[in-house]
Structure 1
Amino acid sequence: MTAASVAPTFTDLERERLSRIALTQLVEPGTPLLDSCMVGATATEVYRRFAEEDPDLGEDGLEARARLAQIHPDRDLERATNAGFRYVIPGDEEWPAQVERLAGQEPLQHRTGTPLGLWVRGPLLLSDLDRSVAIVGSREATAYGADAAARIAADLAVNDFVTVSGAAVGIDAAAHRGALTGPPGSTVAVLAGGVDVPYPLRNRRLIDAIAESGAVISEIAPGFPVTRYRFLSRNRIIAALARGTVVVEAAARSGSLNTSHWAYSINTPVMAVPGQVGAVTSVGTHDLVRTGKGVLVTDGLDVRELVGDSGEALTTEPRGPVRRRDSLTSIEKQVLDAVPVTRPSSQLDIARSACLHPKTAGTALTRLEALGLAERFPEGWQLAPGAART
């Protein structure tokens, strides 16, 4: 006699995981409807509301319910697991709690809210993104902008920071490549489609390289394509994962400004790399600085000073080369300026020119002679060769 098969049991977390997978296919992730439904509720409870045709969900809820029969979250999770992907949700040790800063935020272009979960391709744990910086910018990057993004990302990588970006052409790609020069696991790409849908296709090899040692992330289920609105949705995740957001080149209507808006909204530092005055790709970054929403940065040290732990990265005041004049007192500088260049002048004339007592001028001249800045002749004093440029 064959024993009856026993139905598998699910823990609450596993049931919640399947409900979240289903909900992200019922309702477009990032929409206010999904965010409002999740307030004070579990995904399992919200899913049940859709299944039972809760009238409070409105027309959007009824339209979504019509797709219930087409959604099989258990199969989707099994296929994804077999492909080497995982779905991380709140309650998992790996869950990046910082993305919960998105909860309750005002919608921007009809997108808001904490992601229900994140699909991950790659070995890097999302819980290791507590030291991460977003670097975003124009797809039409200049050589200057691409170099700046790569240099900043490379500096962050060797200083134990992870670079988060969107794998787009231009600044995103440059930032990822810069980070890949550092230790393994130094960069993460957040996609606008499934983690198995590389976009743009020209960056497929780059995305594969990121997945080898870092992580490719999306709130969109595997196999689902990129859409325009999904770029807007993923921007909020890029900003929320990071300690701060660096914008390198952005036009007036750049998508990277959408990312900086989210960073500003959740009170993380927004930074901008300055560009050429008048350049189209500098309008957005310069406006961030002009309006006070962004802090001007020029290298990785500037970034680390803003997002690093207290005392971790301290910048020094920029200084020119040290000159012999720097060690002079104000009186000595006053006398030096009165010493003639072409013909010697008496101590009395120099004192008169410097508006000083002759004895005071004489003491200063002796010091200038010792420093090689003035020369004594029978006729008087003259500036030493090269002293005018010192």
Structure 2
Amino acid sequence: MTGPDHATRRAWAYLSRVAEPPHTELREFVEAEGPLEVARAVQSRRVPARYRAVLGATGARVDTDTSERDLETAARLGARLVTPDDDEWPGWQLWGLREGDTAARGGPPLALWVRGSRRLADEVRSAIAVVGARGATSYGEHVTGRLVGGIVDAGWTVVSGGAFGIDGTAHRAALGSGGSTVAVMACGIDLDYPASHAALFAAISREGLIVSEYAPGTTAARHRFLTRNRLVAALSSAVVVVEAGRRSGAANTAAWARKLDRPLGAVPGPVTSAMSVGCNRMIADELAVLVGDAQAVLSLAAPDGRGGPNHGAVRRTDALTGDRARVYEAIPARGTATIEELALGSAVDVDGVLSALAMLEVDGFVVHTGDGWALAGPND
């Protein structure tokens, strides 16, 4: 795949702002009709009946088109809008957000604003999320530094949320260890939130990436932090919670890890510490694996050494399940196959094959040719 032309990119930028992310119906509309057609439909207020929910979601912002300004703002920062049309789109990492109730509670992002020069798909291919309480203790910060040092030494990227406490410590430790880190934000990539982390965010954008599904200028808000947490979990091969209170954003990220079947680890803490109540409870309830050092975290993310950055890449096709996996496997390694041939080879009915192919095409696994359907390219 190549990137979209400027008109198409403007349409993506417009759609990324016109409805509060994430919006499942808008994303599905774009996947079915393409961004240019959907942008025109939204602006004219003429959408198919099945996407009527899009009208309500876009009503307040439909007449405010700041797409050109948003793209220019991003360019001045060394940032860009990454869409499913781009080679660096992390389709397989985000695949789990399509499944079960995760789709109903947000689903994959429509597009992502990315600040930094590294390729997004490469940075998160072997990544571990390290998250925790904003009110971190000295114990939590010390443990975070030790864990992250070992994670980075093994070649993994560290993902976190850019917040005070454990998040900030994880980012700093990754940078201090000579590694890469990705900050997933609950505001626009042009805003530093918290403001006192401005220097940290500048360093992250040089040595890693800052990522957000919110258009430039979007301010942080509580619901956006909770929405952001699903991306922290989805873009990681495992999630580790170092400290968490009884109710915390870190606990919410842990819940997303479980929904997405990401391995979840938690660091035990003193029973006298309010900041360790959440972690201790996750371990006691067998919701998370107890981790105390970097090796335990690495074993969690890559059991038996498989899938880690030093042991061969995870295959993109590992994310495929159900009909999508069966249809994908029915496509020949060379040449093409028709819908009827795929139905026969996969034992999936024609409607199921069409649905599976639509999703496989969106995420770059297959392409439609004049003769039928073919593999898009190497997916190992």
Shared fold (TM-score, shorter chain, > 0.5): yes
Indicate conservation of the 8 Å contact 1:31/1:111, yes or no.
Answer: no
1:29-50 CA distances to partner (integer Å, 9 max, x unpaired)? 1244445545645334443442
Residues 310 and 41 (structure 1 numbering): CA distance in 2 closer, same or farther, change over 3 Å?
farther
Higher relative contact order by CA 8 Å / sep ≥ 6: 1 or 2? 2
Matching of residue 20 in structure 1 with residue 12 in structure 2: yes
Distance 2:306 2:28 in 1: 39
Indicate conservation of the 8 Å contact 1:13/1:91, yes or no.
Answer: no
Letter in 1 for 2:296: D
Indicate conservation of the 8 Å contact 2:21/2:214, yes or no.
Answer: yes
Residue 117 of structure 1, aligned match among 103, 107, 111: 111
Distance 1:208 1:153 in 2: 20
- Please report how far the alpha carbon of residue 52 of structure 1 lies from its aligned counterpart in structure 2 after TM superposition: 3.5
Residue 288 of structure 2, aligned match among 277, 283, 294: 294
139-148 or 54-63: bigger deviation? 54-63
Residues 289 and 124 (structure 1 numbering): CA distance in 2 closer, same or farther, change over 3 Å?
same
Residues 275 and 11 (structure 1 numbering): CA distance in 2 closer, same or farther, change over 3 Å?
closer
1:323-380 CA distances to partner (integer Å, 9 max, x unpaired)? xxxxxxxxxxxxxxxxxxxxxxxxxxxxxxxxxxxxxxxxxxxxxxxxxxxxxxxxxx
Residue 171 of structure 2, aligned match among 143, 165, 176: 176
Indicate conservation of the 8 Å contact 1:154/1:180, yes or no.
Answer: no
Indicate conservation of the 8 Å contact 1:35/1:103, yes or no.
Answer: no
Q: Secondary structure of the residue that 1:119 maps to in structure 2?
A: strand
Matching of residue 308 in structure 1 with residue 291 in structure 2: no
Map 1:1-390 → 2, pairs under 5 A: 14-35=6-27, 37=29, 40-53=32-45, 54=47, 56-58=50-52, 61-62=55-56, 64-97=58-91, 98-106=93-101, 111-128=105-122, 129-184=124-179, 186-308=180-302, 310-311=304-305
Indicate conservation of the 8 Å contact 1:89/1:118, yes or no.
Answer: yes
124-133 or 55-64: bigger deviation? 55-64
- Please report how far the alpha carbon of residue 220 of structure 1 lies from its aligned counterpart in structure 2 after TM superposition: 0.8
Residues 18 and 313 (structure 1 numbering): CA distance in 2 closer, same or farther, change over 3 Å?
closer
Letter in 2 for 1:24: S
Structure 1, unaligned stretches of length 5 or more? 1-9, 315-390
- Please report how far the alpha carbon of residue 82 of structure 1 lies from its aligned counterpart in structure 2 after TM superposition: 3.3
Aligned residues with identical type, % of pairs: 38
- TM-score, with length taken from structure 1: 0.71
Letter in 1 for 2:18: L
Letter in 1 for 2:252: N
Which residue of the partner structure matches residue 6 of structure 1? none
Indicate conservation of the 8 Å contact 1:304/1:313, yes or no.
Answer: no
Distance 1:188 1:230 in 2: 18
190-199 or 279-288: bigger deviation? 279-288
> Which protein has the larger Cα radius of gyration, Structure 1 or Structure 2?
1
**Alignment RMSD (CA, Å):** 2.6
- Please report how far the alpha carbon of residue 183 of structure 1 lies from its aligned counterpart in structure 2 after TM superposition: 2.4
1:264-293 CA distances to partner (integer Å, 9 max, x unpaired)? 111110110001114221221122222222
Indicate conservation of the 8 Å contact 1:29/1:115, yes or no.
Answer: yes
Letter in 1 for 2:304: S
- Please report how far the alpha carbon of residue 206 of structure 1 lies from its aligned counterpart in structure 2 after TM superposition: 1.2
Distance 1:247 1:211 in 2: 24
Q: Secondary structure of the residue that 1:91 maps to in structure 2?
A: coil
Letter in 1 for 2:78: G
Task: Work out the number of aligned pairs and report it.
Answer: 303
Residues 200 and 72 (structure 1 numbering): CA distance in 2 closer, same or farther, change over 3 Å?
closer
Distance 2:259 2:25 in 1: 20
Q: Secondary structure of the residue that 2:225 maps to in structure 1?
A: helix
273-282 or 238-247: bigger deviation? 273-282
Indicate conservation of the 8 Å contact 1:32/1:107, yes or no.
Answer: no
- Please report how far the alpha carbon of residue 135 of structure 1 lies from its aligned counterpart in structure 2 after TM superposition: 0.5
Residues 280 and 19 (structure 1 numbering): CA distance in 2 closer, same or farther, change over 3 Å?
same
Point out 4+ residue stretches in structure 1 off by more than 4 angstroms: 10-16, 35-41, 55-60
- Please report how far the alpha carbon of residue 311 of structure 1 lies from its aligned counterpart in structure 2 after TM superposition: 3.2
